[in-house]
Chains A and B, each alone.
Chain A
Amino acid sequence: MSEQKFHIEDDPLDDLVRKSLSEVQPEPSTGVWKRLSRQLLHSELRRLHFANLPASFWGIAIPAAVIITGVTIYFGVVRQGTAPPPVSEPETQQVAPIPSVRPTTPMAQPVSPVAQLVPPVVQPTSPATQPAVPEAQSVSSIVPSSEPAETVAVQESVITVDASATSREFIPLLNSLPPEPIYSGSTSLPNIRSIPNPIPQEVPGEPLPKPLSRSLDMGINITPDMVFYRNTSGSFKYNYTFDLGARYNLGRFYIQSGAGVTYSTDIGDYAISYLNNDSVGFYYSINSFTIEPGGPPQFEMKQVTVYDSVQYLYDYSTKNRYYYLQIPLTAGYRIIDKRTWRLSVEAGLLYAYLFSLNEPAPSFYIPEGRILHIERRNPERNRNSLGITGGISMEYQFARNFFLLIEPTFKYYLQAIDENSSRGDKQPYSIGLRAGIWYRLHFKNKPR
């Protein structure tokens, strides 16, 4: 089975040992394969690192990200802003074209110098426009003129009136304006003056911009993280973060920050070298011997064990605890914004500060030995660390102002956790799941 070669001058003991163990082939326990496959998966995950990705990936990913972002912004912001307002919106009302003005006097009659108001025929487009009718009458006031009648067509237009503000603000203005000649749409309306309509008019296809909604969210969250230190052992640790977050929303965009406390553990690795007396061999001492005629000498022997001071190395582990203050600053965009649920992407920076730690010292007792040296194998941790963070936030609104948040997060630390760069655990990253409950405070938009 093997390619072993053996020495010509072997000790009989060597052969004995080889033969004894030649058939020994124990089956590994089932846990070995489980751990092995899990570690292989972790090593594959570790290889999936931004710096390791091939150039072809970036060649596809960057244009794809630009296209997706562009399309999202176009349909999410530009198209939303230009879409016609819904009919039921009370703020905006459409008024029918300026009516054909019915003359109050026959054409042949001389026009009275007294101003005459001729109510236009207003055609409401929906029941909601009913209250605007009197105001519309005022807007389209027509003042008769004493000038000779001319035959000029009256331009028809569609007027968009903000019923809440426009009339109140502009009617006094209208009344103060001097009369101006206007020409009627038919030869039957001479000497009519019209005041130009100062109300902002909607150009077809370009509605008035809708104000962006503003709100402030505040929430409390917990985030279990799997932190991959990227060292040779391939292990990962669990971190737990409790945080208070605040988010300012402007339309579909938001800025988020807050403060959190992260609890993290690690193994304190110590190597303790010590001296201890141990047997290093033995020999046979001859106590006496007898010589009988015709036979070999008979020896009486006793075994003597040789002791020596032997240096040993003992691995000692402790459980260290670390507490970090984490302050994120992220910006996000809401891709999907439904009534009860929302989906957002966010990314930003993360600052972490180690404000408390508990590293118990090794306690090792050797009854008959002497400790030579205690070596600390894992270096001290850095106090400050900066990282980038990102996530996909899913929100479910279960009450008027409350919503639940579930957010898979990714954090990549730009600095190592400890001060020794030779350890190979620079720039750890983590994958976590942030979950919390949030409260939304709506801001009212100022009237225009």
Chain B
Amino acid sequence: MLYQHFAPPMLALCMRYCRNREEAEDVLQEGFIKIFQKISTFRQSGSLEGWIRRIMINQAINHLKAKKMVFLDTDPQMLGNRIPDEGPAEQVEQLYKPEEVLEAIQALPPGYKVVFNLYVFEGYSHREIAEELEISENTSKSQLSRARNYLRKTLAEHRKKYMNTNR
């Protein structure tokens, strides 16, 4: 069944764009409505999962647009990686549980969140993001930098808590 097969990965996708699970399930529901209504327009030449994923991303972006997400334009050069290296990647992975990372992404402001998701998870370039969201490339870059800093801050707080509890 289409829903049973694709609902879990699509819910994971929606949860990255939304603030919580309930909101993500609403987006998932609306997305599947469109999928079922437009399944006859799907061309067999492409990937079904890619087509479904595209609909879900559009649905999530529309959902955030309805919330009037704000893109604050800032020079990305002003923002940099101002956090020290976390160390080897394997160690870093052990520090954070997936739920914590997801929570940190969900806590991002909507503008940051969309750009971050499109860039990191969907592999969009800044130009593609700019076209998709009707913003400038610089705005996209600044949003990504801000999102990364925001995430670093959040994850660093988690790290501190982790270190304190394991001392």
Binary per-residue interface labels of chain B (68-84) against chain A in the complex, 1 for a CB within 8 Å, 0 otherwise? 11101000000101110
Shortest beta-carbon distance, A325 to chain B, in Å? 35
Are B146 and A281 in contact, CB atoms less than 8 angstroms apart?
yes
Are A16 and B98 in contact, CB atoms less than 8 angstroms apart?
no
Which residue from chain A places its CB closest to the CB of B120 in the assembled complex? A14
- Contact segment of A84-92, A308-316, A337-345: A308-316
Are A21 and B102 in contact, CB atoms less than 8 angstroms apart?
yes
Shortest beta-carbon distance, A29 to chain B, in Å? 6
Chain B residues closer than 8 Å to A234, beta-carbon distance: 33
Are B15 and A26 in contact, CB atoms less than 8 angstroms apart?
yes
Are A7 and B102 in contact, CB atoms less than 8 angstroms apart?
no
Are B72 and A310 in contact, CB atoms less than 8 angstroms apart?
yes
Known contacts A16-B89, A283-B82, A311-B70; A21/B16 CB under 8 A:
yes
Are A5 and B89 in contact, CB atoms less than 8 angstroms apart?
no
Shortest beta-carbon distance, B72 to chain A, in Å? 7
Chain A residues closer than 8 Å to B86, beta-carbon distance: 12, 16
Known contacts A3-B49, A4-B123, A11-B81; A28/B149 CB under 8 A:
no
Binary per-residue interface labels of chain B (21-39) against chain A in the complex, 1 for a CB within 8 Å, 0 otherwise? 1000100110011001100
Are A24 and B7 in contact, CB atoms less than 8 angstroms apart?
no
**Chain B residues bordering chain A, tally (CB within 8 A):** 54
- Contact segment of A36-44, A53-61, A69-77: A36-44
Are B49 and A33 in contact, CB atoms less than 8 angstroms apart?
no
Shortest beta-carbon distance, B56 to chain A, in Å? 11
Known contacts A5-B123, A36-B32, A310-B70; A27/B7 CB under 8 A:
yes
Pull 20 A–B residue pairs with CB atoms less than 8 Å apart, ordered by A: A4-B121, A4-B122, A7-B119, A7-B125, A10-B120, A14-B148, A16-B92, A16-B101, A21-B102, A24-B98, A25-B9, A26-B12, A27-B11, A29-B25, A35-B29, A36-B29, A36-B32, A36-B33, A281-B149, A310-B109
The residues of A with any CB-CB pair to B shorter than 8 Å are 1-7, 10-21, 23-29, 31-33, 35-36, 39-40, 43, 234, 271, 273, 279-284, 308, 310-313, 315
The residues of B with any CB-CB pair to A shorter than 8 Å are 3, 7-9, 11-12, 15-16, 21, 25, 28-29, 32-33, 36-37, 47, 49-50, 53, 67-70, 72, 79, 81-83, 85-86, 89, 92-93, 96-98, 101-102, 105, 109, 119-123, 125, 146, 148-153
Known contacts A24-B15, A280-B146, then 5 further A-B pairs from the complex at CB < 8 Å, ordered by chain A residue: A1-B49, A14-B119, A32-B25, A281-B79, A281-B153
